[in-house]
């Protein structure tokens, strides 16, 4: 047709592209061979820089070449004047920038840049900060750049205030940026230190931060980064003092060996939990260390905010979970009923994690029972009918002689169950227990009731043989009774058991 | 070149270079039609044009003198060219689409000599215009091509050379004869005063009228004020056709609204809502929840079913949104009236939201150098594919075959008879005799030059879109766009403000009340606003122009009595976007060429085969089907590249293609010789 522009066909284009590619590949391979040969010959000259430059600018992820380049640069450095060295490394920085454009997430490039800056007689940190800002504005999740930025900030002594403003800016443009929130959490304690507690943040700043996170999760309650930050904030201020308190107890009670063990174990648990999740500590210990009036009023206010959000978003899991944790921190017993209801909702709205919620709920219920027990110093401990799926805090039950775990959803008695060295009677009817590893070397255990569980094999009962005082065993309603010759086998395995119900 | 050089036969003759006509021209030319594109004016884009300040002053003069232009007596000449069995349909020589034009100047008219004396330090820093524009443009290199109002065929589109470009006046005839040294000094001053580095310094210098004239070429003042929805028909077309490579764009930085006597920012994106200080957290949640619902409201009919027959406003009330939020959604996000029905309101909100985040935090883009660039870009595309351009060259009459009642040819203002199979014409060329009715709607426009933003903020280089709900219930809602100097539409230190509404009377009657609410207007024109007065919290108006533009968008082919192969393009409508004009262009194109694709992607320069480009060029098998296939694969590639852009800041459709323009320009059609 007249007047039409003629265009190459797809086949033609592809053929051209293929030829081009072939040519490129050939050039790349021959240059690579030349470089490697040069390196093994120990040549450190300008030509080597030139060759590696060509190769790296098309493929910046070739680590060997970066290494070779560093060798060459180190060698050239010894031959040159100071200002020439400056120039040499400055041109290197420009070259890296070009490579970063090819692959902004190249390990080799960023590493090399850090190295060049350590060699540079007069590094220009402002320029480097500018580079980081530009890269992060293009991709705020480029962790290579975040890492490099930390190096630059440290080396150039940028003030903590400026850095906090930097996170303000990034969070302002997109608050779904966990890197920025996290960075904030490392900056705040430095900026507003509280005397004696290096990890805490002063109250005034804390309130501002609460507001910032409110803005984020009211705007988008499904975004987890702000929630995580918020939980970190809520954890500020309780944990450290508690651990110290407990260590004191530990020292005081050295006269009482048994108790000492108990407390020590407890402290260990605390410390390790504390690293993982501050709020948990605050939760599991709040019964012992009273919250300060201010702290509890702040938490009360936060609970109100979250309840307000829950009214608008009754299905939001982050909100539900945070409310549960806040309630635990404020008054675990008083809020028990609400907590259980919220757990129920959580399991429904987030079925993928329902087991996690069950375990967490079990943990809280056990804690509550322990709290109640403390006031009444009992040795008989009942956790029956609480829908427990897991056992924890057994370390706090070392003196218990009689434990009732009936009517729960336990699948096993875990190894650390063996901690209960004073235990004489165990009731664990109506669970789904298939594994008894924890019933091991319990010297005082006399009676075990495991009716209606899922014990299938004789071998599952082997650990019981190590409990030398065991005389009464109830196994009614377990699949194991279908095993052939079960009675004789059992009497052989557990000769001391006199009262056996199958 | 003389007009006799024009070929005497074309497939399509197009009269008028407004957006619709230009898109049709590009689309026809792209698929191989021979196109003659004419305009009686000495500039491109008709009522879509943008002018330098001096250019606008000339345009105003032209408007004033137009009434006196005697109707030309060429009739004898063209009568003789009409054969038997043919009818002549004469076209209108007068453009009556603009009316009620009024201009007021409030900037001081005094000489500027003492001012220049006060700033001797400006001489040691050689900052010039190029640097300013470079900063503003980033490193984009796409052409902003100024095709000057020459009388010849303009298909010899120039090689773009931006630096050169920017420092040159847009229209030659307006070059003011200012001696070089004083010129550059002026530039420095204006730069110093607008430097964003020290916003604390009060805008120290008064901007005089003389200065506006001197710096006049920095202005690109649009007659039509529209924005581009980032997923609107225009942006889609620019991307699809590769015309985007001829222009650059800037994001609208913020959406403002006028409420309770104050200008406030409208939180519309997620980041805005997060950062907003005027909303409570609960309002934030309610707003986000509502907006999320609007994104896919069709999926939840139960939410709005009871309100389909009721106004959107009532639906918002029912949703228990606070007053604050109702205002934002109704006026600034959906941008609908009190009476708009729920479903339409929801659709408008949805469109707004879908456009968010593609290129930035607001849904809108604005072409650098003004909206007038866009029709020119399409003209350029047309020229690249062989279209021929003549400005100051019109059509005297149409030659209609009596039997078929179709246009066979046109007779141009030089008395040449040019045959064509289709004739496309802008509405303002049609005589009243060919119309069924002469009652029109009107658009009221005001253009202001001001000295500061209506809502100063950290960055003084933001384009703001301001929605102003009706001040009284009978008054129309006014739309205002405030352009900063980095949009390349006004001189540094000033803002160019466009106000638009559908007319209820003269433009000045419609818009002056709004202007006096938002701006400081001196009582005596030419008098300086008194410093320190309370009024100075508002930006001062330095210069203002009012006019009405005819809105013919309600007309369709049944409104004219014309042959079926005459296609009338109505002018700009009063809406915020250009979708109407693009859709019209597409439908006209399909009338002319029902079987052709509308604006397929232009090929990349390296994929074009030139004559004598080796043996491949002449080989058979490069028929249409292979071409279309190539086009498709290009389109796919384009899509892939394009998806990346939203993640990068300030990404523009223009970025999609970094290939230089040399190649397509080299293949200037042979018609030129």
Contact A218 B281 (CB under 8 A): yes
**CB contacts, 8 Å: A216 with chain B:** 274
DSSP state of A4: P
Give the residue with greater pLDDT, B665 vs A386: A386
Strand intervals (E) in B413-494: 417-426, 441-450, 463-468, 478-483
How far apart CA B633 and CA B629 sit, in angstroms, is: 6
- Residue B417 phi/psi, 5-degree rounding, is -95, 125
CB-nearest to B288 from A9, A220, A305 is: A220
Which H or E run contains A488? helix A486-493
Is any Cβ of chain B less than 8 angstroms from the Cβ of A313?
yes
Give the residue with greater pLDDT, B75 vs B202: B75
**CA of A183 to nearest chain B CA: how many angstroms apart?**
19
**CB contacts, 8 Å: A13 with chain B:** 607, 630, 633
Q: Which two tokens stand for residue B119?
A: 């700033």
Is any Cβ of chain B less than 8 angstroms from the Cβ of A476?
no
Asked if A106 contacts A60 with a C-beta cutoff of 8 angstroms, the reply is yes
pTM score above 0.90: no
> Distance between the two ends of chain A, CA-based, in angstroms?
95
pLDDT tens digits, one per residue of B542-597 = 999 999 999 999 888 889 999 999 999 999 999 999 999 999 999 999 999 999 99
Average pLDDT, whole number, for chain B? 79
Give A490's contacts (C-beta < 8 A, 6+ positions apart).
A458, A461, A497, A500, A502
Q: Is a pLDDT exceeding 60 seen at residue B510?
A: yes
pLDDT at A174: 87
Q: Is a pLDDT exceeding 50 seen at residue B493?
A: yes
pLDDT tens digits, one per residue of B71-110 = 556 677 778 888 889 999 999 888 889 999 999 999 887 7
Is any Cβ of chain B less than 8 angstroms from the Cβ of A139?
yes
CA B278 to chain CA centroid, Å, is 33
CA-closest candidate to residue B45, choices B384, B393, B378: B378
**CB contacts, 8 Å: B608 with chain A:** 5-8
pLDDT tens digits, one per residue of B589-599 = 999 999 999 99
pLDDT at B527: 54
Asked if B541 contacts B519 with a C-beta cutoff of 8 angstroms, the reply is yes
Give B68's contacts (C-beta < 8 A, 6+ positions apart).
none
Biggest CA pair distance of chain A? 107
CA B550 to chain CA centroid, Å, is 16
Q: What is the per-residue DSSP string for A195-230?
A: TTEEEEE-HHHHHHHHHHHHHHHHH-TT-HHHHHHH
Give A235's contacts (C-beta < 8 A, 6+ positions apart).
A277, A278, A279, A281, A282
- % of chain B at pLDDT higher than 70: 73
How far apart CA A44 and CA A39 sit, in angstroms, is: 8
Is any Cβ of chain A less than 8 angstroms from the Cβ of B633?
yes
**How many interchain CB pairs under 8 A, A with B?**
95
CA-closest candidate to residue A395, choices A248, A244, A246: A246
**B378 burial type by CB count under 10 A (0-12 exposed, 13-18 middle, 19+ buried):** buried
- Residue B61 phi/psi, 5-degree rounding, is -60, -50
| Mean local confidence (pLDDT), B11-27 | 97
pLDDT at A378: 72
CA A378 to chain CA centroid, Å, is 36
Is the ipTM, as predicted for this complex, more than 0.85? Answer: no
The half-sphere exposure of A348 on its side-chain side, counting CA atoms within 13 A, is 9
Q: Which two tokens stand for residue B536?
A: 């100075």
Burial letters for B282-312: b for 16+ Cβ neighbours within 10 Å, e otherwise? ebbbbbbebbebbeebeeeeebbeebeeebb
pLDDT at A293: 64
Contact A8 B609 (CB under 8 A): yes
**Range 284-323 of B in CB contact (< 8 A) with A:** 284-286, 288-289
Q: What is the per-residue DSSP string for A395-443?
A: GGGTT-SEEE--SS---B--GGGGG-TT--EEE--SS---B-TT--S-T
Which H or E run contains B419? strand B417-426
**CB contacts, 8 Å: A5 with chain B:** 385, 603, 608, 667
CA A487 to chain CA centroid, Å, is 48
Which H or E run contains A151? helix A143-156
pLDDT at A370: 85
Asked if B480 contacts B498 with a C-beta cutoff of 8 angstroms, the reply is yes
Is any Cβ of chain A less than 8 angstroms from the Cβ of B522?
no
How far apart CA B144 and CA B160 sit, in angstroms, is: 7
pLDDT tens digits, one per residue of A386-396 = 999 999 888 88
Residue B480, beta-bridge partner list: B466, B499
Q: Is a pLDDT exceeding 90 seen at residue B639?
A: no
| Mean local confidence (pLDDT), B428-449 | 92
Low-confidence residues of chain A: pLDDT under 70 = 1-5, 194-201, 236-294, 374-377
Contact B647 A139 (CB under 8 A): yes
Cβ of A364: how many Cβ atoms within 10 Å?
A: 23
Pairing status of strand B417-426 against strand B406-412: antiparallel
**CB contacts, 8 Å: A7 with chain B:** 603, 607-609, 622, 626-627, 630-631
DSSP state of B527: P
Q: Is a pLDDT exceeding 90 seen at residue B203?
A: no
Which H or E run contains B639? helix B624-644
DSSP state of B72: P
Cβ of A333: how many Cβ atoms within 10 Å?
A: 13
Q: What is the per-residue DSSP string for A222-272?
A: T-HHHHHHHHHHHHTTTHHHHHHHHHHHHHHGGG-HHHHHHHHHHHHHHHH
Phi-psi region of B14 (alpha: psi -120 to 50; beta: other; left: phi over 0): beta
Return the residue of B nearest to A170 by Cα.
B271
pLDDT tens digits, one per residue of B340-377 = 999 999 999 999 999 998 898 899 999 999 999 999 99
pLDDT at B116: 43
| Optimal mutation site among A1, A8, A222, interface B, most CBs of chain B within 10 A | A8
CA-closest candidate to residue B461, choices B479, B481, B483: B483
């Amino acid at each position: 047709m007249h007047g039409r522009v003629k265009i190459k066909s797809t086949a033609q284009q592809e053929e051209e592209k293929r030829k081009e590619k072939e040519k490129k590949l050939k050039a790349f391979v021959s240059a690579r061979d030349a470089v490697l040969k040069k390196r093994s010959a120990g040549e450190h000259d300008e030509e080597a820089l030139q060759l590696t430059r060509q190769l790296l600018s098309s493929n910046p992820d070739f680590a060997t070449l970066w290494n070779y380049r560093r060798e060459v640069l180190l060698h050239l450095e010894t031959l040159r004047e100071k200002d020439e060295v400056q120039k040499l490394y400055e041109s290197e920085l420009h070259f890296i920038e070009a490579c970063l454009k090819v692959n902004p997430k190249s390990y080799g490039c960023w590493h090399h840049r850090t190295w060049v800056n350590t060699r540079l007689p007069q590094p220009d940190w402002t320029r480097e900060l500018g580079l980081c800002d530009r890269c992060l504005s293009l991709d705020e999740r480029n962790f290579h750049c975040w890492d490099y930025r930390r190096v630059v900030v440290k080396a150039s002594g940028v003030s903590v205030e400026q850095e906090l403003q930097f996170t303000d800016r990034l969070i302002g443009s997109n608050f779904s940026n966990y890197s920025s929130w996290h960075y904030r959490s490392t900056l705040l304690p430095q900026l507003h230190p509280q005397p004696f507690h290096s990890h805490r943040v002063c109250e005034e700043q804390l309130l501002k931060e609460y507001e910032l996170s409110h803005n984020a999760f009211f705007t988008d309650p499904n975004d987890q980064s702000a929630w995580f930050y918020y939980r970190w904030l809520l954890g500020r201020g309780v944990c450290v003092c508690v651990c110290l308190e407990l260590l004191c107890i530990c020292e005081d009670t050295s006269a009482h060996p048994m108790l000492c063990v108990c407390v020590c174990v407890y402290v260990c648990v605390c410390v390790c939990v504390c690293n993982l999740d501050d709020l948990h500590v605050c939760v599991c210990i709040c019964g012992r260390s009273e919250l300060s009036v201010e702290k509890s009023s702040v938490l009360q206010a936060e609970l109100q905010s979250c309840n307000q959000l829950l009214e608008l978003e009754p299905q939001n899991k982050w909100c539900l979970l945070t409310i549960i944790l806040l309630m635990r921190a404020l008054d675990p017993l008083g809020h028990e009923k609400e907590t259980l209801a919220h757990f129920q909702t959580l399991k429904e709205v987030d079925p993928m994690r329902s087991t996690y919620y069950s375990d967490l709920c079990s943990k809280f219920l056990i804690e509550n029972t322990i709290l109640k027990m403390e006031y009444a110093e009992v040795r008989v401990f009942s956790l029956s009918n609480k829908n427990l799926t897991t056992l924890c805090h057994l370390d706090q039950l070392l003196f218990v002689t009689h434990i009732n775990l009936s009517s729960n959803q336990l699948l096993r008695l875990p190894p650390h169950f063996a901690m209960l060295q004073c235990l004489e009677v165990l009731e664990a009817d109506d669970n789904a227990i298939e594994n008894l590893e924890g019933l091991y070397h319990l010297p005082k255990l006399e009676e075990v009731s495991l009716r209606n569980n899922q014990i299938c094999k004789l071998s599952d009962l082997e650990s019981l043989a190590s409990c030398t005082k065991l005389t009464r065993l109830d196994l009614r309603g377990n699949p194991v009774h279908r095993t052939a010759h079960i009675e004789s086998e059992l009497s052989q395995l557990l000769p001391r058991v006199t009262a056996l119900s199958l | 070149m003389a007009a006799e050089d024009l070929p005497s036969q074309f497939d399509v003759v197009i009269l008028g270079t407004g957006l619709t006509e230009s898109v049709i021209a590009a689309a026809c030319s792209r698929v191989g039609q021979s196109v003659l594109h004419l305009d009686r004016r000495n500039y491109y884009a008709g009522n879509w044009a943008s002018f330098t300040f001096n250019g606008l002053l000339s345009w105003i003069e032209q408007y004033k003198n137009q009434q006196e232009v005697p109707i030309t007596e060429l009739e004898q000449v063209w009568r003789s060219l009409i054969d038997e069995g043919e009818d002549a349909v004469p076209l209108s020589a007068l453009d009556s689409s603009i009316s009620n034009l009024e201009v007021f100047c409030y900037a001081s008219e005094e000489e500027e000599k003492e001012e220049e004396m006060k700033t001797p330090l400006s001489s040691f820093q050689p900052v010039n215009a190029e640097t300013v524009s470079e900063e503003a443009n980033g490193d984009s290199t796409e052409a902003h091509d100024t095709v000057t109002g020459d009388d010849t065929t303009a298909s010899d589109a120039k090689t773009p050379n931006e630096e050169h470009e920017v420092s040159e006046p847009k229209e030659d005839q307006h070059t003011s004869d200012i001696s070089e040294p004083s010129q550059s000094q002026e530039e420095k001053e204006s730069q110093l005063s607008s430097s964003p580095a020290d916003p604390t310094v009060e805008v120290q210098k008064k901007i005089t009228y003389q200065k506006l004239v001197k710096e006049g070429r920095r202005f690109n003042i649009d007659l039509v004020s529209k924005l581009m929805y980032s997923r609107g028909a225009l942006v889609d077309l620019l991307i699809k056709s590769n015309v985007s490579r001829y222009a650059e764009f800037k994001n609208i930085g913020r959406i403002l609204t006028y409420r309770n006597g104050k200008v406030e920012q409208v939180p519309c994106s997620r980041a805005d809502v997060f950062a907003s200080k005027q909303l409570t957290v609960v309002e934030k949640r309610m707003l986000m929840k509502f907006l999320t619902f609007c994104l896919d409201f069709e999926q939840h009919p139960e939410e709005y079913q009871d309100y389909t027959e009721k106004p959107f406003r009532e639906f918002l009330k029912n949703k228990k949104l606070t007053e604050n939020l109702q205002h934002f959604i109704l006026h600034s996000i959906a941008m609908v009236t009190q009476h708009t029905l729920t479903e339409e309101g929801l659709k408008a909100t949805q469109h707004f939201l879908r456009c968010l985040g593609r290129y930035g935090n607001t849904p809108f883009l604005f072409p650098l150098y003004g909206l007038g660039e866009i029709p020119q870009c399409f003209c350029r595309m047309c020229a690249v594919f062989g279209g021929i351009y003549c400005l100051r060259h019109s059509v005297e009459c149409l030659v209609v075959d009596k039997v078929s009642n179709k246009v066979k040819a046109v007779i141009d203002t030089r008395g040449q008879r040019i045959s064509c199979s289709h004739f496309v014409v802008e509405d303002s060329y049609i005589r009243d005799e060919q119309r069924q009715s002469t009652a029109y709607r009107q658009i009221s426009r005001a253009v202001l030059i001001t000295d500061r933003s209506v809502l100063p903020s950290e960055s003084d280089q933001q384009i703001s879109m301001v929605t102003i709900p009706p001040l009284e219930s009978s008054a129309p809602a006014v739309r205002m766009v405030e352009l900063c100097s980095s949009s390349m539409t006004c001189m540094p230190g000033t803002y160019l403000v466009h106000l638009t509404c559908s007319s209820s009377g003269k433009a000045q009657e419609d818009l002056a009340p709004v202007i006096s609410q938002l701006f400081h207007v001196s009582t005596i024109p030419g008098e300086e606003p008194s410093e320190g007065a309370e009024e100075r919290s508002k930006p001062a108006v330095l210069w203002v122009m009012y006019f009405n533009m005819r809105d013919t968008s309600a007309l369709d082919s049944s409104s004219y009595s014309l042959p079926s192969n005459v296609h009338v393009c109505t002018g700009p409508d009063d809406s915020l976007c250009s979708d109407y004009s693009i859709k019209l262009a597409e439908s006209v194109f399909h009338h002319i060429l029902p079987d052709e694709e509308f604006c397929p992607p232009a090929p990349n320069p390296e994929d074009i085969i030139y004559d004598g480009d080796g043996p491949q060029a002449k080989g058979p098998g490069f028929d249409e089907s292979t071409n279309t296939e190539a086009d498709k694969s290009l389109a796919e590639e384009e899509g892939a590249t394009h998806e990346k852009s939203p993640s990068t800041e300030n990404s523009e459709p223009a970025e999609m293609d970094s290939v230089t323009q040399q190649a397509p320009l080299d293949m200037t059609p042979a018609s030129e010789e």
